Chain A
Amino acid sequence: MLATLFKKPAKFTGGIKLPERKSLSNGAELRIAPLPAQLIHPLGQHIGKAAKACVAVGDRVLRNQPIALGDGLISADVHAASSGTVSAIESRPIAHASGLLAPCIVIDCDQEDEATEPAPHGNDFLSLSSDELRGRIRSAGIVGMGGAAFPAAVKLNARGRAIDTLILNGAECESYITCDDMLARTQADEIIRSIPIFRHILGVPNLPVIVALEDHMQQAIAELRAALEKSGLRRVEIRAVPSIYPEGGEKQLIQTLTGLEVPTGGLPLDIGLVCQNIGTAAAVFRAIVHGEPLTSRIVTVTGEAVQQPGNYEVRLGSKVADIVAAAGGYKVGKPARLIMGGAMMGFALKTDDVPIVKGSNCVLVAAAEEVRPTDSTMPCIRCGECAEVCPASLLPQQLYWHARGDEFDKAKNLNLFDCIECGACAQACPSHIPLVQYYRYAKAEIWAEEREKAKSDAARERHEFRLERVEREEREKLERQKQRQAALAASKKPDAASSSASNGAASDPVKAALAKAAAAKAKASDSGGAMSAIEKAKATAKQRQADAAGTSATAEVAKPASAAAAAIAKAKAAATATDSDESRESALTPAQKAIAAAKLKARKAAGNSAESPTAQHEAVETAQQTPAQLAIEKARAAARQKETSEVASASPAEDKPAKKSLTPAELAILKAKAAVKKSQQPSAPSAESKPAKKSLSPAELAILKAKAAAKKADKELSTPDAASATKSPAQLAIERAKAAAKAAQQGNGE
């Protein structure tokens, strides 16, 4: 790296020789602009987030007092440039190409220029840590003074990278501007004495430093050399670079000084370099050693249309009108154009009512003969002059065509974002095409597109989140509803639950099912019985199944759900049975019960197929005609159904229409279910609940139940005692059960 320092200066590619027009302003001594009557401090004078006001309207503020504090990492404080009263915090026109308003703190100066106590400062900065020093630079509100206004403290953060050269940039290449020249002439000492501070902050005690000035700034170079000699600093080089535009561009200067190229989209830090403007260096020195925040700067006021062009020490916040007045005012009426910044990179102001900010280096009051008329644009003749001069080695002509045709993707692919908007191409263009404006336009469109994309992505995310939330809320509501019902049922029949528990044979899912059935019934009776209890129960089962399908974790729920449907059916059956039958049931053997149940089902199925749908009353009657069999069928259920039938009888009005609305097929299904339940409960309750785990619709469930019933009957018959005692009836029962199942299926298929 050291070798590159002493290498013959390389030259950056491209570049253009400009008419300098610097003598207009650099002949006169530095003058101090008078304190204006009013100061306007925009909150956003830097790259990054705008600062936040920390004073209120009516407050008296002193010079150097912070009036707005930096917000976030990349931001900077703003300080009052003189004493006075805050008269407004509002939107005012600022120096921006858009001419838009931005929030500003307005101070009515009292002309006393009373300052606050200086912040902690001194020459002993070596005892402070790098972070403390950067903190002081930040709270002094220092930003890059070359024009970009990037917060200096952020730029001085090496972020663990090895730094091998510091560059102090005084290569003021734009025509007209001489403020850095003036600074180096008047404050060479401060610039040189800032070097130890930077070295300490960057943590490299002997960091090589290059102070670069353009070769025409002879007086400034001499002053700096003298100051350097006085300071006795080593490894500092004052280098004159050729005057060619845009030599002062950071990347171009680095290329000239070191021969290195900053990678596309990268920072000088990536190649071990830190670059600061000499104005920033002087401000850092004053902040650290004198405790002074940034409240004034040197501004070049120049152009053919101003009376006394020259460099002025101006309080930040002064209006352009104030400093033009300090320079003797406009020459002849209105100037042809008022430009903030240089002729190349500056922008036209719509009013002189805008304040000078930290990054304002020049006010160009241009006469008509100094500016190119805007209507002189002619078609591109594809001469290629623009590409010759482009310091970023781009293809300006290509970029121009794409920007004009709104082909932003293509412009982007041609490295549009490497363009530093120097204006060399536009200056060289014989057709006077305002090329830079096209590039700014294209960049702005691409940024806007990116913003829109980000916004629509955010909207999509929020929309999806909302859909998910709505769904979740619905689910939770259902869940709560069910929990309430269950709680209700549990509180209604605590004794019933215990009695069924004493039954011994009843397993937990069965209990739960009964509770559910009871709850469903209770609900049905509450709602007035518009829907039959069975349908309600089925609906509940369906809901539960849906839930089970939705959340795999609650797959278990399916069990009580199907059980609920079955239990309801049982409850129905029990309701039709007479209580007196209970005594008889107990006398029967399981085998007999099974046979009876199968017979009943068979009969039901028969009645089903033989009779018209309206004959369902008869079907019910048939059931009642054989009370004994019916009683058998209810054998296991009865004990538990007692309470359910209580509910049923408690709402007879509701229960009856329920019965009426049953089609024979449904009835058959129900019976089949009841049979299943009964025959299955004593033997193997879990065997049946397995298929039920799958989330089935009630119809499918019924078929399964019927099939299971047949199987169950089969099984029970094969138990030794039953088989030996009643063999042929048992076979009969099997057949009937099968028929019943088939009938149930058919009925279901209707």
Chain B
Amino acid sequence: MSILVAVLALAGLALVFGVILGWSSVRFKVEGDPIVEQIDALLPQTQCGQCTFPGCRPYATAIANGEADINQCPPGGEATIHNLADLLGVEPKPLNPENGVEKDLPMLAIIREDECIGCTKCIQACPVDAILGAAKQMHTVINDECTGCELCVEPCPVDCIDMVPVKTTLENWRWSQPPGPVSLRGPVKEPVTAELK
């Protein structure tokens, strides 16, 4: 009898906890793969495919599945590799030269508009819909949306797309690091403020 009570009690408990666990697994379901999300958040979202994957998210998925190394994203460069290494708890390594080289300056596509024949090929290539235009009409790049992925350059049949460095404006200008006694970045010659003697 007492055995029965114990068994019933345990069964009851198991049932109760089973229900709670079942409910919470539905209620607190984690959407998607959080590690993929986290990796994707660190990637530059240039969507250029230089990592050999068709976009940043597929690369993030591949990293999460252990199918790709963390050093394959040239647009992200050193900084992204470091961030990824931090996140995944692995040793940072230099960028894989097979994937490309890191650019010094952020780039931007510019269409030489008088040469554009309106073939729409660049629109189809642009991963972020940063090009405006219609068939047989002049096309143009929305500067703010261009990620500088260069995917539109190759398909253009008349080669009228140039990649140019993003211009420094009052909005994106930055103060430089002052020359320290032993500056980590080497001497920078630009006296910018004045202090009293």
B5 interface residue (CB < 8 Å to A): no
Inter-chain contacts of B145 with A (CB < 8 A):
458-459, 462
A447-470 vs B, Cβ < 8 Å mask (1 yes, 0 no): 110011001111110110110000
From 453 to 512 in chain A, residues with beta carbon under 8 angstroms from any chain B beta carbon are: 455-460, 462-463, 465-466
Judge whether B55 and A463 touch: CB under 8 Å: yes
B162-178 vs A, Cβ < 8 Å mask (1 yes, 0 no): 00000011101111111
From 89 to 118 in chain A, residues with beta carbon under 8 angstroms from any chain B beta carbon are: 96-98, 100, 102
Residue on A nearest B167 in the bound complex, by CB: A100
Judge whether A463 and B45 touch: CB under 8 Å: yes
A579 interface residue (CB < 8 Å to B): no
Interface size class of B (residues with CB under 8 A): 35 or more
Judge whether A427 and B127 touch: CB under 8 Å: no
Judge whether A423 and B197 touch: CB under 8 Å: no
One of A44, A371, A423, A441 near B178 (C-beta < 8 A):
A441
Judge whether A460 and B196 touch: CB under 8 Å: no
Judge whether A100 and B45 touch: CB under 8 Å: no
With the chains together, A374 CA to B181 CA distance in Å? 11
From 116 to 134 in chain B, residues with beta carbon under 8 angstroms from any chain A beta carbon are: 127-130
Inter-chain contacts of A456 with B (CB < 8 A):
43-46, 147
One of B46, B170, B177, B179 near A459 (C-beta < 8 A):
B46
One of B57, B177, B181 near A441 (C-beta < 8 A):
B177
Inter-chain contacts of A404 with B (CB < 8 A):
177, 180, 183-184
A339 interface residue (CB < 8 Å to B): yes
Judge whether A441 and B175 touch: CB under 8 Å: yes
One of B147, B182, B184 near A379 (C-beta < 8 A):
B182
B47 interface residue (CB < 8 Å to A): yes
A-binding segment of B8-16, B27-35, B87-95, B187-195? B187-195
Residue on A nearest B55 in the bound complex, by CB: A463
With the chains together, A443 CA to B176 CA distance in Å? 11
B150 interface residue (CB < 8 Å to A): no
Contact residues of B: prevailing secondary structure = loop
With A404-B177, A459-B47, A459-B147 given, is the CB distance from A44 to B170 under 8 Å?
Answer: yes
One of A19, A102, A375, A436 near B196 (C-beta < 8 A):
A19
Judge whether A423 and B193 touch: CB under 8 Å: yes
Give chain A nearest CB distance to B44 CB in angstroms. Answer: 6
With the chains together, A100 CA to B130 CA distance in Å? 27
Which residue of B129, B173, B175 has the most chain A CB atoms within 10 A of its CB atom?
Answer: B175
Give chain B nearest CB distance to A512 CB in angstroms. Answer: 36
Judge whether A432 and B195 touch: CB under 8 Å: yes
One of A372, A378, A379, A441 near B197 (C-beta < 8 A):
A372
Judge whether B196 and A377 touch: CB under 8 Å: no
Judge whether B173 and A100 touch: CB under 8 Å: yes
Give chain B nearest CB distance to A374 CB in angstroms. Answer: 4
Residue on B nearest A96 in the bound complex, by CB: B170
With the chains together, A419 CA to B124 CA distance in Å? 48
Question: What is the count of residue pairs linking A and B with beta-carbon distances less than 8 angstroms?
Answer: 131
B-binding segment of A343-351, A519-527, A529-537, A661-669? A343-351
Judge whether A463 and B180 touch: CB under 8 Å: no
Judge whether A463 and B47 touch: CB under 8 Å: yes
A445 interface residue (CB < 8 Å to B): yes
With the chains together, A374 CA to B45 CA distance in Å? 40
With the chains together, A372 CA to B193 CA distance in Å? 10
Residue on A nearest B179 in the bound complex, by CB: A377
With the chains together, A280 CA to B105 CA distance in Å? 42
Residue on A nearest B106 in the bound complex, by CB: A452
With the chains together, A97 CA to B57 CA distance in Å? 40
Judge whether A436 and B193 touch: CB under 8 Å: yes
Give chain A nearest CB distance to B182 CB in angstroms. Answer: 7
Residue on B nearest A342 in the bound complex, by CB: B194
B80-101 vs A, Cβ < 8 Å mask (1 yes, 0 no): 0000000000000000000000
Judge whether B195 and A426 touch: CB under 8 Å: yes
A1-36 vs B, Cβ < 8 Å mask (1 yes, 0 no): 000000000000000001100000000000000000
Give chain A nearest CB distance to B108 CB in angstroms. Answer: 12
A131 interface residue (CB < 8 Å to B): no
Which residue of A366, A370, A379, A404 has the most chain B CB atoms within 10 A of its CB atom?
Answer: A404
Judge whether B191 and A348 touch: CB under 8 Å: yes
One of B175, B181, B184 near A405 (C-beta < 8 A):
B184
With the chains together, A404 CA to B130 CA distance in Å? 37
B131-148 vs A, Cβ < 8 Å mask (1 yes, 0 no): 000000000000011010
Give chain A nearest CB distance to B19 CB in angstroms. Answer: 28
Judge whether A460 and B195 touch: CB under 8 Å: no
B64 interface residue (CB < 8 Å to A): no
B70 interface residue (CB < 8 Å to A): no
Inter-chain contacts of B194 with A (CB < 8 A):
337, 339, 343, 346, 348, 364, 366, 371-372
Judge whether B129 and A466 touch: CB under 8 Å: yes
Inter-chain contacts of A457 with B (CB < 8 A):
45
B39 interface residue (CB < 8 Å to A): no
Judge whether A460 and B56 touch: CB under 8 Å: yes
Give chain A nearest CB distance to B172 CB in angstroms. Answer: 7
Task: Give 14 CB contacts A-B under 8 Å.
Answer: A100-B173, A343-B195, A347-B193, A371-B196, A372-B195, A374-B191, A377-B180, A403-B177, A427-B196, A437-B193, A438-B178, A441-B177, A455-B45, A455-B147
For the complex of A and B, the 3 pairs showing the least CB-CB separation, nearest first, are: A456-B45, A444-B174, A459-B45
Seen from chain B, the residues whose Cβ lies within 8 Å of a Cβ on chain A are 40, 43-47, 55-57, 127-130, 144-145, 147, 168-170, 172-184, 191-197
Beyond contacts A444-B173, A459-B145: 11 other A-B pairs, Cβ-Cβ < 8 A, are A175-B196, A337-B191, A344-B195, A344-B196, A375-B179, A404-B183, A427-B195, A432-B195, A434-B195, A441-B174, A459-B128
